[in-house]
Amino acid sequence: MRGQRWIRWALFGACLCLQGQWLSYPTPGIPRAKDGKPNLNAPAPRATNGKPDLSGLWVVEATPLADLPPQGASAIVFDATAAPPTRNRYLFNILADFKPEDSPMLPAAQAIYRQRRLNESADLPSSHCLPGGIPLSMTLPYPFKVVQTPELLIVLHEGDSAVRQIYTDGRKHTADPQPTFMGYSIGSWDADTLVVDTIGFNDNGWLDNKGSPRSDALHTVERISRKDFGHLRIEVTLDEPKMYQKPFTVKFGAILVPDSDLQESICAENEKDRQHFK
């Protein structure tokens, strides 16, 4: 059914305002104004080791409606009242910063992309209860939760139930990692910025929901910093020599979702979308 894919993403956004196992439960440690509202512009917190504490419940920052591609705009038409806003340009097009004639896609990637567009993204992994991968899982219109310890960060994604472990204990990458959707991540600190190096991807993931491909050669480097209490800055550099002519970087933000929590999201439970796919 034409349009089914975009409606699905609209419904994702519409669900955002309902998330949380404990709605309206005050999150400990959040600075607040006199009226009790969270002060998201307060200074960023520090962990016990002196590094910025990235812990919290976050949702990708919105792209202005005028800057979204036409398909993206139609996808969030039912999401106009959702709070916080959920649409992000890189969800709809990882190459949004390139003019069409300057696309770095290699011919092999272009052929895969064209076929996925003809199929109206029916094989999108997250529509089949599979993880989105990097950076797609972060740009979904669902929150993700960061739990930080001195030697490990755990990232829990509500949208596709993906789990990431980012090791900051000084280990190196293994020589021959078993390919996975989320890859294997090690992190180190560059002053107040967490640098996350990830390899070991499989070739089943997509870079966006329109079908920009990746392969097992994908190597990502993320730079994550906490601007203040309520805002993250995220840069993801993607080096994918099998599919793209050169590395490229996408930059986006994430906003803290205070006084809420993740909700269990089981993709296969009560699933009714796949019967409509071609």
Q: What is the pLDDT of residues 99-132, one digit of tens each?
A: 999 999 999 999 999 999 998 888 888 888 899 9
Q: How confident is the model at residue 38 (pLDDT cuts 50, 70, 90)?
A: very high
Q: Is residue 277 part of a domain?
A: no
| Rounded average pLDDT over 13-20 | 41
Domain assignment present for residue 231? The answer is: yes
Share of the chain above pLDDT 90, in %: 68
Q: What is the pTM of this model?
A: 0.85
- Residue 44 to residue 61: CA distance in whole angstroms: 18
Say yes or no to pLDDT of 55 above 70: yes
pLDDT of 5 > 70? The answer is no
Question: Which of 78-87, 135-144, 174-183, 231-240 comes out lowest in average pLDDT?
Answer: 78-87
Is 60 exceeded by the pLDDT of residue 92? yes
Cβ(10)–Cβ(75) below 8 Å: yes
Average pLDDT, the chain: 85
Whether 236 maps to a domain, the answer reads yes
Q: DSSP string of 212-238?
A: -B--TT-EEEEEEEEEETTEEEEEEEE
Reported confidence tier of residue 2, pLDDT bands at 50, 70, 90? very low
265 inside domain: no
User: What is residue 233's predicted lDDT score, i.e. its pLDDT?
Assistant: 98
Q: Does some domain include residue 271?
A: no
Number of domains in the chain: 1
Phi (first) and psi of residue 32, to 5 degrees: -135, 150
Structural domain of 246? 4-260
The answer to which of 29-33, 53-57, 67-71, 99-103 has the lowest mean pLDDT is 67-71
Mean pLDDT of all residues in 85-96: 87
Q: Which amino acid is at 40?
A: L
> How does residue 12 score in pLDDT terms, banded at 50, 70 and 90?
very low
Q: Report yes or no: 97 and 34 within 8 Å, Cβ to Cβ.
A: no
Q: Which residue has the tokens 């999108």?
A: 124
Residue 264 has φ and ψ, to the nearest 5°, of -60, 130
CA–CA separation, 113 and 191 (whole Å): 39
Q: Of the ranges 23-32, 197-206, 251-260, which one carries the lowest mean pLDDT score?
A: 23-32
- The answer to whether residue 270 is domain-embedded is no
Q: Is residue 211 part of a domain?
A: yes
Query: Does residue 208 sit within a domain?
Result: yes
